[in-house]
């Protein structure tokens, strides 16, 4: 449907489902320079009752900087337009000196590290001092250096902060050293560079733009190059991009004919390339090259990117166009990010409050001290504990007295130093130790161990553990992350007959079909389950009508592709395996299927193919081929058969194939095939329709003339080629259809369902075609048949704006009418995102995406993936997680709050850039729902407990100051003050933070909804903080005033009552911790009760040393019954309110976690009773 204005219509798709199509037509020139022979990926049909709303544009537009351009994309690049001088660079082939005189190009040295020797110290300290507490302790350490304020030793005051900073700096330095080592290894690799007409080895970091390099099979390309020649006479090179995008399938790249001959004839290589300046668009390339005064166009099929590997090609020669940090893959690397835990960021808010609270306490002490000094100003000269005047010298002098104002000021600063542990620096050390312990258990969790790759979970960043328990959005790559990138042929519909019957792995009971060639047995590397009836019919040949249809169907599968057969050895020297390598896994599956039914592709060159058809080797000339693109959604090949006939075979998506099939010839077959396609798609299979027609010599000559004219055009080449293809692909006779299963990784559908039940939104961001992404969406259960799909494919800002407005209106109506947002799915392509991201349309996209349960972004460039992540991060406080396996996922992984790399057989870039790494997507479930929940719950509790633990101690010191003339003297021994945060109370906190479990693994996996506790911040929030503050105030009052009142007007000394306060506070905080422990084990028992015992021993030892104050105090005090009464009374009175409130809340307003915990206890009780009954029966 084409019109000059926006219009809509309702049409019936091939599966019988209604699709609402809003078509915005704007006439814009379109083009794309590409001569590569592309593969094709099918689209799956929509299952019954699926509603789909598309917002598309019938014409495409030129590309903005950084936009996504993919193989076969319907949105063409600007090859038909001249590149302006300001947006281009000139590269003189084989003349790097002249080239680099004209432009300021980067060296080929790369850097992925964060620091240098000069920047490490300032940058690392700057990052560490983002922690507010560190700034506070730095101020305290500086104050303690002043003689008037030296409460503690100068060195002792600096040591704690220095140790914390040093440990973190060493950890960061080690991580960055590993990056430097990786960079050094990469930069010092060598490649062959043309120097004085001979190729010499040169280090990668020394390669310059304009140089000609030669690389051999299985070598990695060191920079972005334009191909000049290859070992193939036609200039074809097969490239593996596994390090770039995680895909192991081979891609085809081409050298221009004008340069092939010069290299092969050993002529001097020269010429001038005018190309676009370095940009992030890994799917596009725009350039022209002048050779022998002839100008040729260059496109994405002529450039090979850094990190790709040459395969199945002996050698290739190319000229360097982009180097180092200007290469496309490095421009898409946003660099190592400094990440901090969300919980730690929120903790800064409470740290600031505690700072104000501390200032308040110090102000009270200082103010009261000033009042006291003024009231007793006449007594200060000779007062025993003050001594304003110094009479030790001949002349009377002031003794450590600076006037009332300065005395108040110094008292304030001294109070800050004395009460400094209100802000717990020990908390940061405890957090690091707890994270190490948690990481140990995550790494050694057998539920996240992959046997096939012998890979365990990797914890690469130790400061993000608790964030795993608060994730709201998961952004996932598709290829290699959700899928294994392996397709399996399942069903075939041929001439209206559905072959989905009994399957067998064998062909004539011989273990699969094989061909005999020159005394060798050739077998396909991958076996395919085949339909017994179809095998029998395929063997009958093409003498019968059904035999002809089957023959042509499998001939189309074997021939209409760009698959390259590669022969490999086996243990038997007579038997060889054929491995079918190609750009598209769909094509691989189809060719393996054809081989399984007796149509084995055994040879391919640029001009012909050889197929073994049931033992008969036949050669077919490849007279022409038209690549797949997302507008036609078809691929076609023209074959010259051995009987001198010419046939056109076409395969493609059903939505476009039925438009070019002549339904009048085979209406019954078309109807039956449509029904079969609907059946295939309803079970999540990817579908393709295959058609063919004969071609007369006159038609062929017309096609060849048009094709040659189109390929030689400098401007509008892709548009002309598309027109030639459309004219060729008409009047087809339907052969049949295929159903292919895209092999998901094990457990992906179940994992996505668990994540969805945990209220985690899963978005898929992929560079693949829209049809492929949708198909995977269904097979992974991300998309369901009840969902309404909102599809946005546009090529201008205005059309994107209209589409978003229409989609928003539709979503609002759906929600207002009672339809759940869980039934909306947004599908948007990278071209649309070019005009939406970083514009005023971002807010509309965010609003629309927020209303949808699922978002699929197709054909997106790496930086667009990062842009989508930032779309959420900038507008919500929700925590994001990105997971991927390829270099194109690095930016997304680094921008997300939590980045996870898949450590499978793909490249290592994603893993190196990640915070965590694992082998399978399904491991996300135990990682988030189990370890994430535990880590968040433990860390949240530990932070609040540390605030409480230190504040109780500080407040006891504060209350004491109010009764000692505000002099900041303390009854608690200095050694006990030091040991309080080291021995008395530190170890139980760390042990509980590592080992305690509020719920068992089985409950967390059985009820994914429990994960919501982290998303709702139930373990650490403002309400809990203020409750902790109130509880702390109460406990400190009880701990201080009970002994004070009990020993009021007695002759007990300060050291004795100080020991009582020390023991009371230590007993109190440890029993407080014990009340909250859920899962007891011997280590937790040992840490809590051991700390109490250790405190008693330490107090006894300290009081047994004669030179220390308070000698023998504890022995005198413990002999009095009043001491034990106070100790027990403090514990009971302090903890009763907490116990009562906990009991009432758990009884009347229990949380989901508490309910699940009670259910666990009930299950354990029932299980133990059943075991007891069984044991009793045995005894009988």
Helices 404-418/132-143 angle, 10° precision: 130
Q: Which of 583, 767, 735, 708 is nearest to 652 (CA)?
A: 735
| 62 DSSP assignment | P
List of long-range contacts for 616-621, beta carbons under 8 Å, 24+ apart: 617/515, 617/517, 618/642, 620/559
Compute φ and ψ for 839, nearest 5 degrees: -140, 180
Q: List Cβ neighbours of 1022 (8 Å cut-off, separation of 6 or more).
A: none
Local structure of 916: helix, strand or coil: strand
Q: Six-digit token pair at 217?
A: 């099979």
**The dihedral sign for the CA sequence 1031, 1035, 1038, 1040:** negative
What's the CA angle centered on 484, arms 656 and 883, to 5 degrees? 100
Q: What span, in angstroms and rounded, lies between the C-alpha atoms of 143 and 145?
A: 5
Q: What span, in angstroms and rounded, lies between the C-alpha atoms of 811 and 793?
A: 17
Q: What span, in angstroms and rounded, lies between the C-alpha atoms of 657 and 262?
A: 42
Q: What span, in angstroms and rounded, lies between the C-alpha atoms of 861 and 331?
A: 12
β partners of residue 743: 486
What are the distances in angstroms from CA 365 to CA 140, 148, 400, 863? Answer: 17, 17, 19, 56
Q: What is the DSSP string of 339-388?
A: ---HHHHHHHHHHHHHHHHHHHHHHHHHHHHHHHHHHTTTTTTT-TTT--
Q: What is the DSSP string of 448-482?
A: G-BTTTTB--EE--TT-GGGGGSEEEEEE-STTTT
Known catalytic membership, residue 477: yes
Polymer length in residues for the chain: 1180
Q: Which of 978, 953, 957 is nearest to 156 (CA)?
A: 978
**The dihedral sign for the CA sequence 388, 390, 396, 402:** negative
Q: Which of 774, 793, 787 is nearest to 814 (CA)?
A: 787
Q: What span, in angstroms and rounded, lies between the C-alpha atoms of 488 and 503?
A: 13
Q: Is 557 exposed, middle or buried (0-12, 13-18, 19+ CB in 10 A)?
A: buried
What's the CA angle centered on 850, arms 844 and 856, to 5 degrees? 90
Q: Are 575 and 523 in contact (CB under 8 A)?
A: yes
Local structure of 692: helix, strand or coil: strand
Helices (H) and strands (E) in the chain, counts: 37, 42
Local structure of 721: helix, strand or coil: helix
Q: Six-digit token pair at 867?
A: 């842009």
β partners of residue 916: 459, 900
β partners of residue 1086: none
What are the distances in angstroms from CA 965 to CA 26, 150, 411? Answer: 85, 20, 12
Catalytic residue among 477, 586, 612, 1059: 477
CA atoms within 13 A on the CB side of 799: 27
β partners of residue 304: 225
Q: What span, in angstroms and rounded, lies between the C-alpha atoms of 218 and 317?
A: 14
Beta strands (DSSP E) in 142-293 are 190-195, 198-203, 212-216, 224-230, 236-240, 250-254, 272-276, 287-291
Q: List Cβ neighbours of 1154 (8 Å cut-off, separation of 6 or more).
A: 1146
Q: Which of 635, 367, 334, 341 is nearest to 465 (CA)?
A: 341
Q: Tell me the catalytic residues.
A: 477
């Amino acid at each position: 449907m084409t019109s000059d204005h926006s219009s809509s219509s309702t049409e019936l798709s091939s599966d019988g489902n209604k699709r609402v199509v809003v078509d915005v037509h704007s006439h814009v020139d379109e083009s794309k320079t590409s001569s590569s022979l592309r593969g094709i990926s099918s689209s799956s049909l929509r299952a019954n009752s699926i509603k789909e709303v598309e917002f598309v544009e019938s014409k495409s537009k030129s590309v903005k900087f950084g936009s996504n351009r993919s193989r076969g994309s319907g949105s063409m690049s600007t090859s038909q337009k001249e590149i302006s001088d300001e947006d281009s660079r000139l590269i003189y082939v084989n003349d790097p000196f002249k080239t680099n005189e004209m432009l300021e190009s980067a060296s080929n040295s790369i850097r992925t590290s964060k620091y240098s020797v000069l920047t490490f110290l300032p940058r690392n300290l700057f990052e560490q001092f983002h922690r507010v507490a560190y700034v506070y302790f730095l101020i305290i350490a500086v104050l303690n250096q002043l003689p008037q304020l030296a409460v503690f030793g100068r060195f002792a005051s600096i040591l704690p902060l220095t140790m914390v900073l040093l440990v973190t700096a060493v950890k960061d330095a080690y991580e960055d050293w590993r990056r430097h080592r990786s960079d050094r290894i990469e930069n010092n690799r060598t490649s062959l560079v043309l120097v004085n007409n001979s190729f010499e080895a040169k280090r990668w970091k020394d390669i310059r733009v304009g140089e000609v390099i030669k690389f051999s099979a299985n070598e990695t390309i060191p920079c972005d190059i334009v191909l000049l020649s290859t070992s193939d006479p036609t200039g074809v090179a097969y490239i593996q991009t596994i390090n770039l995008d995680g895909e192991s399938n081979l891609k085809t790249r081409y050298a221009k004919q004008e340069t092939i001959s010069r290299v092969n004839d050993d002529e001097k290589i020269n010429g001038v390339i005018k190309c676009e300046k370095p940009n992030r668009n890994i799917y596009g390339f725009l350039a022209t090259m002048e050779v022998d005064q002839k100008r040729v166009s260059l496109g994405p099929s002529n450039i090979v990117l850094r990190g790709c590997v040459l395969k199945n090609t002996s050698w290739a020669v190319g000229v360097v166009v982009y180097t180092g940090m200007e290469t496309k893959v490095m421009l898409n690397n946003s660099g190592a990010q400094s990440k901090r835990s969300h919980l730690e960021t929120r903790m800064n808010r409470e740290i600031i409050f505690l700072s104000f609270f501390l200032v308040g306490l110090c102000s009270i002490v200082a103010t009261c001290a000033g009042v006291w000094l003024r009231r007793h100003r006449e007594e200060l000269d000779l007062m025993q504990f003050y001594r304003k005047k110094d009479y030790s010298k001949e002349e009377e002098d002031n003794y450590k007295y600076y006037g009332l104002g300065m005395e108040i000021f110094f008292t304030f600063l001294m109070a800050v130093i004395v009460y400094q542990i209100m802000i717990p620096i020990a908390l940061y050390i405890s957090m690091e130790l707890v994270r190490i312990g948690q990481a140990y258990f995550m790494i050694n969790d057998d539920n996240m161990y992959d046997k096939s790759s012998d890979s365990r979970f990797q914890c690469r960043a130790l400061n993000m553990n608790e964030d795993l328990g608060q994730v709201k959005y998961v952004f996932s790559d598709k290829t290699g992350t959700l899928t294994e990138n392996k397709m399996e042929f399942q069903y075939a519909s041929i001439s209206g007959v559905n072959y989905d019957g009994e399957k067998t792995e064998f062909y004539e009971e011989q273990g699969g079909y094989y061909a005999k060639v020159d005394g060798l047995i050739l077998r396909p590397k991958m076996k395919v389950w085949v339909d017994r009836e179809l095998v029998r019919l395929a063997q009958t040949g093409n003498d019968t009508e059904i035999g002809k249809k089957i023959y042509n169907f499998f001939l189309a599968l074997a021939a209409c592709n760009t698959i390259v057969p590669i022969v490999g050895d086996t243990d038997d020297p007579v038997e060889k395996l054929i491995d079918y390598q190609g750009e598209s896994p769909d094509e691989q599956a189809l060719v393996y299927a054809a081989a399984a039914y007796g149509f084995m592709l055994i040879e391919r060159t640029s001009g012909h193919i050889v197929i073994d058809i049931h033992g008969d080797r036949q050669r077919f000339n490849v007279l022409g081929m038209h690549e797949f693109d997302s507008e036609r959604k078809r691929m076609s090949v023209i074959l010259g058969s051995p009987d001198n006939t010419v046939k056109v075979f076409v395969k493609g998506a059903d939505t476009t194939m039925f438009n070019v099939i002549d339904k009048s010839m085979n209406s019954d077959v078309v109807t039956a095939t449509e029904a079969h396609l609907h059946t295939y798609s309803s079970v999540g299979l990817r579908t393709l329709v295959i058609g063919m027609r004969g071609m007369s010599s006159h038609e062929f000559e017309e096609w060849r003339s048009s094709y040659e004219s189109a390929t030689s055009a400098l401007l509008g080449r892709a548009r002309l080629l598309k027109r030639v293809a459309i004219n060729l692909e008409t009047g087809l006779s339907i052969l049949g259809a295929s159903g292919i299963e895209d092999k998901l990784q094990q457990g992906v559908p179940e994992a996505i369902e668990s994540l969805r039940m945990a209220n985690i939104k899963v978005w898929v961001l992929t560079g693949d075609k829209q049809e492929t992404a949708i198909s995977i969406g269904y097979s992974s259960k991300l998309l369901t048949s009840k969902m309404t799909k909102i599809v946005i494919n546009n090529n201008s800002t205005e059309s994107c704006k209209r589409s978003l407005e229409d989609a928003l209106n539709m979503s609002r109506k759906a929600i207002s009418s009672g339809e759940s947002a869980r039934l909306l799915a947004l599908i948007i392509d990278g071209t649309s995102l070019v005009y939406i991201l970083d514009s005023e349309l971002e807010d509309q996209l965010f609003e629309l995406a927020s209303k949808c349960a699922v978002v699929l972004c197709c054909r997106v460039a790496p930086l667009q993936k990062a842009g989508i992540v930032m779309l959420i991060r900038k507008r919500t406080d929700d925590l994001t997680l990105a997971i991927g396996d390829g270099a194109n996922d690095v930016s997304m992984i680094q921008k997300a709050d939590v980045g996870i790399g898949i450590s499978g057989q793909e490249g290592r870039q994603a893993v190196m850039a990640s915070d965590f790494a694992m082998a399978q997507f399904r491991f996300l479930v135990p990682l988030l729902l189990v370890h994430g929940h535990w880590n968040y719950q433990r860390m949240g509790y530990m932070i609040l407990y540390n605030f409480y633990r230190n504040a109780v101690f500080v407040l006891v010191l504060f209350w004491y100051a109010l009764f000692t003339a505000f002099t900041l003297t303390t009854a608690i021994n200095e050694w006990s003050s030091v040991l309080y945060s080291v021995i008395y109370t530190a170890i139980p906190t760390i042990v509980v933070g590592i080992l305690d479990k509020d719920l068992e693994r089985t409950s967390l996996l059985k009820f994914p909804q429990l994960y919501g506790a982290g998303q709702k911040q139930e373990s650490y929030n403002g309400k809990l903080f203020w409750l902790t503050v109130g509880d702390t105030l109460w406990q400190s009052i009880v701990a201080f005033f009970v002994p004070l009142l009990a020993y009021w007007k007695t002759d007990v000394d300060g050291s004795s009552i100080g020991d009582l306060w020390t023991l009371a506070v230590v007993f109190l905080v440890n029993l407080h911790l014990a009340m909250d422990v859920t899962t007891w084990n011997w280590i937790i028992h040992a840490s809590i009760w051991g700390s109490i015992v250790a405190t008693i021993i330490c107090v006894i030892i300290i009081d047994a040393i004669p030179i220390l104050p308070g000698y023998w105090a504890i022995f005198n005090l413990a002999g009095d019954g009043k001491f034990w009464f106070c100790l027990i009374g403090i514990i009971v009175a302090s903890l009763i309110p907490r116990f009562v409130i906990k009991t009432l809340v758990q009884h009347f307003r229990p949380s989901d976690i508490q309910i699940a915990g009670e259910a666990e206890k009930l299950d354990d009780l029932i299980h133990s009773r059943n075991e007891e009954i069984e044991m009793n029966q045995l005894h009988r």
